[in-house]
Amino acid sequence: MKWYKWLFSLVLLFTLLNSSLGIAHAEDPIPGINPQLPRPPEDITLAEGDNAVTTTTTLNLPALKAVLIVGNIDGDYGTWTLSEVNNMKLAEAVLRQNGVTVTAFYPPNNNWSAIKTAAQGAHFLLYRGHGVEWSSDPLVVGGFALSNGSNGYTFISNDMIRNELRLAANAIVMLYGCFTAGSYGGEVNLTSTGAQNRVYQYADPFFDIGAGGYYANWWGDAFEKFLIYLFSGQTLGQAYQSYADYNATTVERYTFPYRADLAMWLDKDYYSGGWKYDNAFVGKSASTLEGLFTTLMVPSSGPVVYLTTEPSDPRLQQVTIYAVGSLTFQWNASFSSSIPWGTLSTTSGVSGTSTTVTLNPDGLKTGVYETTLTITTTTPGVLPNVQTIPVKLMVVKEVFTTFLPISSR
């Protein structure tokens, strides 16, 4: 982590320490977990949000994949562990319904090497389990608590996430656990500064490796609902605000430290004797899944226009079709109408390859001849999937050349 990020964290930490609130379980071993996971009381239910999605939209997306992780919570087959597996399966169902390839790691299947392999190029990473505290003074949090196969824990640190995970660009991360949204289980009335610091620490490694969005929430169906909203075409910020746990009167809106392009929103609920920060979002709030994961098809040239003389004077221009994004796609090229004065060197290829436009005025009368070069692709996730380039051939009797004067001192 860069030194200025550590400085920011330390300033927030010292502010929190000076508030006399104290730090959770300071005597726990390093790393450690809080046995009381964040869980809203069972007698509190959420009403459906005002902006809830009732219909779905077909999005133009490439093949997507997701990695889902549930850590050992109260043993590999404990009641709480199995409850969180069921909550994760709600999200899994939404992903599969939208054609996402899902690899799930439910206890005791928590092997980190296997998770890293599956996460190569993953567009979604979801985790439900214990949050990890690495130090209490100063407070350092982040990472995962995975099952080691014997009802114990393998701890994954923030630096391991930075150095070993290779998610897709703009990946969406969703976490449930202590500290991920600010508060830890059983804690009340955490300061806003403390909540910001914890969310910053938990989210930062994912944005260091190129994530596009981070959601943290304590409710069991939150991941499911966030995904439903995202796949309906909502922006990342709209999806956060559509969930019923969002409250416009209590949400705190900030910008993520050192990243002016990322929003950081914290929200809290009051129950069990105090306020709890239990709903956080960080990311590109105005982006949609299409905006994050699609590839742009961009021809390298603008209008293809030639000025030529009689008789024959063929001209060549190479048009390269390239991608803005990581997706490789197939393209096809053709003129919009059959023309005797224009040919293409190839009519198909892959992103990064080119076709050469050849225009030949041989036998043409003086005048202006026009057509359109159309580039198309049927590869999902490429926008726009049709692009056009105007082509104009101007045939004249004479071409006059003017030389501009050059002055010197």
* Residue tagged 């949090």 (tokens): 141
Report the C-alpha gap between 314 and 358 in whole angstroms.
7
Q: What is the pairing mode between strands 304-309 and 348-350?
A: unpaired
Helix (H, G, I), strand (E, B) or coil at 216: strand
List the single range of 120-134, 137-151, 318-332, 355-369 with lowest mean pLDDT. 318-332
Domains, the chain, in order of start with CATH, read 23-292 (3.40.50), 295-396 (2.60.40.10)
Average pLDDT of the chain, as a whole number: 84
On the question of a cis peptide bond just before residue 29, with omega within 30 degrees of 0, the verdict is: no
Strands (E) in 130-227, as ranges, are 133-136, 139-141, 144-147, 153-156, 172-176, 213-217
Report the C-alpha gap between 352 and 206 in whole angstroms.
30
Specify the pLDDT at position 39: 64
pLDDT > 90 in the chain, percent = 56
Specify the pLDDT at position 244: 92
The one-letter code for the residue type at 302 is G
Specify the pLDDT at position 26: 25
Question: Is this structure's pTM higher than 0.95?
Answer: no
List the single range of 30-34, 90-94, 106-110 with lowest mean pLDDT. 30-34
pLDDT in tens, 129-138: 999 999 888 8
Band of pLDDT at residue 29, cut at 50, 70 and 90: very low
Q: Which residue has the higher pLDDT, 341 or 93?
A: 93
User: Span 83-96, mean pLDDT?
Assistant: 96
User: Which residue from 75, 160, 158 is spatially nearest to 113, judged by alpha carbons?
Assistant: 160
Residue 398 CA from chain centroid, whole number: 56
Specify the pLDDT at position 362: 84
User: Span 109-138, mean pLDDT?
Assistant: 94
pLDDT in tens, 194-247: 999 999 999 999 999 999 999 999 999 999 999 999 999 999 999 999 999 999
Helix (H, G, I), strand (E, B) or coil at 22: coil
- Say how many C-beta atoms besides its own lie within 10 A of residue 398's C-beta: 7
Report the C-alpha gap between 137 and 116 in whole angstroms.
30
User: Span 171-176, mean pLDDT?
Assistant: 97
- Say how many C-beta atoms besides its own lie within 10 A of residue 409's C-beta: 2
List the single range of 208-222, 312-326, 377-391 with lowest mean pLDDT. 312-326
Which residues partner with 369 through β-bridges? 393
Structure tokens at 140: 């350092």
Residue 54 has pLDDT above 70, yes or no: no
Specify the pLDDT at position 98: 95
Strands (E) in 133-283, as ranges, are 133-136, 139-141, 144-147, 153-156, 172-176, 213-217, 252-255, 263-271, 274-283
User: Span 28-47, mean pLDDT?
Assistant: 56
Return left, alpha or beta for 310; rule: phi > 0 is left, psi -120 to 50 is alpha, else beta. Answer: beta
User: Span 55-76, mean pLDDT?
Assistant: 86
User: Span 388-408, mean pLDDT?
Assistant: 68
Residue 117 has pLDDT above 90, yes or no: yes
Band of pLDDT at residue 160, cut at 50, 70 and 90: very high
Band of pLDDT at residue 28, cut at 50, 70 and 90: very low
Q: Which residue has the higher pLDDT, 8 or 382?
A: 382
Q: Which residue has the higher pLDDT, 6 or 150?
A: 150
User: Span 119-137, mean pLDDT?
Assistant: 93
Band of pLDDT at residue 400, cut at 50, 70 and 90: low
Structure tokens at 332: 């096809």
- Say how many C-beta atoms besides its own lie within 10 A of residue 162's C-beta: 14
